[in-house]
Amino acid sequence: MLARLLLAWAMMAGCVAIHAAGLVLAMQWFGRPAAAADRFWSRTMVFVRLAGWIVALHLVEIAAWAMFLAVQRALPDLQSAFYFSGVTYTTTGYGDVVLPPEWRLVGAVEALTGILMCGWSTGFFFAAFGRVLGAAAVVERQR
C-alpha cells in the first residue's frame, strides 16, 4: 500500500508541476492587458481564452492520472481509466466505476489533487479578473 501511495504522491507532484507551468504560460500569454482593455468584448475574450486554457490544463492532468491507472492495470482499459479519472478528479464521484480495494487510496489522492488544482485555478482566474479590471480602470482614468 505504501508503494501505491508514493506513486500517487508522484502523480500529485506531476499535476502540480503541469499546473504551475501552465499558469506561468497563461500569465505570459494573457497577463498583458490589451491596448483595448477598455472594451467589453476584448476583456470578455481574455476570460474565455483563459478559462479554456485552464480547462485544458485540467484535462491534461486527468489524462495523466488515467494513463497512470491504465498502465498500472488498476482499471480494465484506458476508456474506463479516463472516465474514472474525470469523475474522481472533479470529485463528481458517480461510483459506477471503482478501483480495486488495493488502489482505493490512490483514487482518494487523485480526488484531493483535483480539489487542490481546481482551487488554484479559481484563485488564478479571479486574480486575472482583478488585473484586467484594474487595467480597464487605469484606461478609464486616463480618458
Q: Which CATH architecture has domain 2-142?
A: Orthogonal Bundle (1.10)
Predicted confidence at residue 141, as pLDDT, reads 56
Predicted confidence at residue 63, as pLDDT, reads 98
pLDDT tens-digit series, residues 111-136: 999 999 999 999 999 998 887 777 65
Please identify every stretch of the chain with a pLDDT value under 70, giving residue numbers as ranges: 30-38, 135-143
Using a cut of 0.75, tell me whether the model's pTM lies above it.
yes
> Could you state, in order of their start, the residue ranges of all structural domains in the chain?
2-142
Q: 471503482: which residue's cell?
A: 98
